[in-house]
Amino acid sequence: MSQKVQAPRGTSDVLAQDADARAALEATARRVLEGAGYRRIETPTFEHTELFSRGVGASTDIVQKEMYTFDDGGDRSVTLRPEGTAPVCRAYAEHGMHKLPLPVKLWYLSSFFRKEKPQAGRYRQFWQVGAEALGSDDPAVDAETILLLSTLLAELSVGDVRLRLGSLGTLAARTAYREELQAHLRARSDELSDEVRARIDLNPLRAFDSEHPGTVAVMRDAPRLLDRLDADDAEHFAEVRALLDRAGVDYEVDATLVRGMDYYTRTVFEFTSDKLGAQSGVAGGGRYDGLVEQLGGPATPGCGWAAGIERILLAGPGRPVAAPPVDLYVAFDAPERRADAFAVAAEARNARLNAQLELAGRSRKGQLKQADRIGARYVALVSDTGTVLKDMQAATQQVVPCSDVVTRILRERGVR
C-alpha cells in the first residue's frame, strides 16, 4: 500500500458524484452573482511572493507559515495563491480597471493553497468562490455583498448559518486599539489563564473568547474596538447595519471579530455553520480600502468575500445530483459487428443524442445489464441478422437496418 503513489497530504481527488455537486454549486454561484452584475475573473495560480507578503500582511499566519513558496528558476520568488483578494486587486491595478464604470464587480471560483495541517473542512488545496466590488466606499456595497453571500448560502441550502458582523475602523485606529487592549491585559495578567497570557503579543483579541473565569472578569472591563472607531467609520458601520436590517438579514454584532488578513478596514463579517466541526467558518470577508493602493495602484476602496466550497458542501444537504440521461446504448453480439456499432453511436451523437457504446467486451446479458444500469432509454443490438432496437422503458423491440436506428429514435421521440 505505502509504495503506491498517493495524492499529497491535504489534497484530494474530486470523484464523480462530488464533481456533479460542485458543478451545481458553480452554476448557482454564477446565476446569483452574474445576476447582480458581477463578471468572472481568473487570476494566475501563482503570483510573485511580494503580492501576498505586502497585501495579506507579513505578520499574518498565512504569510509566516502557510505559503507554498518556491524559486521560479530566475531570481523571483513565487507563491501558490493562498487567497483571492490580493490577486484580484493586483489585476485591477495592472489593467487600469479604475477607468471602468465603478464599482468594478468581479467574482471567481478557483483553488487556493495553504500549508496547514489538514482537518475536517481544512485542506492544503481548497476551493473558494469569491466576489469583490472595487471602487466605491458606499455602505450599500458592504450590505449588498453580504446580502448576495447570504442569498447564495441559502440557495445552496447551507444549514444552521449565522452571520457575525463587526467593524475594524482604520488601520491606525485598529493599531491604537490593539495596544490599548494589550496594556489592559498586561495590567491584569495575573488574573488571566496561561494560554491567554501567552498570546497577549500575538493575538490579544483571542482573550475575548476565553471561558476561563478570571479572564472573563478581566475582559468585562476591556476596551472594545467598536467604541474606538472614529466618527466616519462609526457612521459607515451604522449605515451598513441599517441597510441589512432593511433587507431582513439577521446578524449579530461581534466587537471581537477578527480576520486573518491585515488588509481589512471598516466592515468585516463571517458566516458560520453549526453543521461543521471545529472549522465552522463557511465564508468571510470585509472591506479593504487601502489594499489596491498598497499594491501600487490608485487609491481604491474595495469590499468582498470568499466562501469555502468544501465547507459549503459539508454543511449542505448533500442531495445527489441526477446523472445525465442516456438516450442510446449500442451493443453488439460479435467482434465483427463492432465497426457497425461504432458508426451507429457516432451517428447518434451527431444527431445530439447521448449515446454510449459497449467498450468492455461484455456478454449479451452483461451489455443489457450495463444499459439498464446507466438508465439508457434505447438499446441498439447490432448483429449480423439485423439490428434489434429495444425500448428499455416500454420493453418493446423491433428489427431495423442499422442505418435507421437514429432516425427511428428521433421519430419516436418526436411523437412522445
Binding site for RNA (CB under 7 A): 1-3, 6-10, 12, 60-62, 83, 114, 116-123, 126, 128, 195, 199, 202-203, 206, 258-261, 270, 277-284, 306-308, 310-311, 360-366, 368-373, 381, 388, 390, 392-393, 395, 397
Closer by beta carbon to RNA, 115 or else 188 = 115
Distance CA 387, CA 382 (A): 4
Nearer to RNA, 64 or 350 (CB): 64
The minimum distance between CB 96 and RNA, in angstroms, equals 27
Q: Which residue has the cell 489593467?
A: 95
CA dist., res. 298 & res. 407, Å (int): 62
Nearest-approach distance from CB 377 to RNA, in angstroms: 9
User: Please, what is the minimum distance in Å from the beta carbon of residue 332 to RNA?
Assistant: 12
Strand 77-80, strand 104-113: pairing: unpaired
Query: Minimum distance from CB of 123 to RNA (Å)?
Result: 5
Query: 96 and 145 in contact (C-beta within 8 Å)?
Result: no
C-beta of 129 vs 348, nearer to RNA: 129
Is the Cβ of residue 105 or residue 122 nearer to RNA in the bound state? 122
Which element (helix H / strand E) includes 17?
helix 16-35
Instruction: Give me the helices (H) in 156-212, please.
Output: 171-187, 194-198
DSSP 201: T
In the bound complex, what is the minimum distance in angstroms from residue 281's beta carbon to RNA?
3
**Grid coordinates representing 396?**
418493446
By beta-carbon proximity to RNA, the closer residue of 38 and 378 is: 378
Placement of cell 493602493 in the chain: 293
What letter would DSSP give residue 82? S
104-113 and 125-134: which strand pairing? Answer: antiparallel
Task: Output the DSSP codes for 319-373.
Answer: PPPPPPPEEEEEEESSGGGHHHHHHHHHHHHHTT--EEE--S---HHHHHHHHHH
Q: Rank residues 203 and 403 by Cβ distance to RNA and give the closer one.
A: 203
Amino acid residing at 333: D
CB of 231 to RNA, least distance (A): 28
Packing angle, helices 405-415 and 338-350, rounded to 10: 40
CB of 218 to RNA, least distance (A): 17
* Distance in Å, CB of 235 to RNA, minimum: 26
Closer to RNA by Cβ: residue 91 or 381: 381
What secondary structure letter does DSSP report for 8? P
By beta-carbon proximity to RNA, the closer residue of 239 and 280 is 280
Closest separation in Å from C-beta 165 to RNA: 14
CB of 135 to RNA, least distance (A): 22
Q: How far apart are CA 227 and CA 253, in angstroms?
A: 13
CA distance 332 to 347: 16
- Residue 45 CB contacts under 8 Å (≥ 6 apart), including other chains: 80, 81, 110, 111
How far is 13 from 408, CA to CA, in rounded Å? 41
Cβ nearer to RNA, comparing 202 with 231: 202
Tell me whether residue 119 or residue 350 sits nearer to RNA (CB atom). Answer: 119
